[in-house]
Amino acid sequence: MNVSDLLASLPPAYRVERVYVDGDSKETTNFVTVNNGLAYFIEGNDIKVFNVDSIDGLKF
């Protein structure tokens, strides 16, 4: 299973603590959705958007 398939299988608001993007750790709180190669996450009051192809890993 690749990252895109994994994200597509997660329900909205699923808890994701961190997203690893091109080797950098990005803090998040919840997954929102994946659409057109972009993954959307919430962190506090902010929405963070990452290119799925750049995501190296996730911490749940």
CA distance 35 to 2: 15
CATH number for the domain that contains residue 53? 2.30.30
Phi/psi zone of residue 6: left (φ > 0), alpha (ψ -120 to 50 degrees), beta? alpha
Give the total number of structural domains in the chain.
Answer: 1
| Residue 39 structural domain | 3-59
Q: Is-above-0.85 flag for pTM?
A: yes
Instruction: Quote the pLDDT of residue 43.
Output: 96
Instruction: Quote the pLDDT of residue 11.
Output: 96
pLDDT digits (tens, 9 = 90+) for 14-48: 999 999 999 999 999 999 999 999 999 999 999 99
Q: Is the pLDDT of residue 1 over 90?
A: no
Instruction: Quote the pLDDT of residue 57.
Output: 96
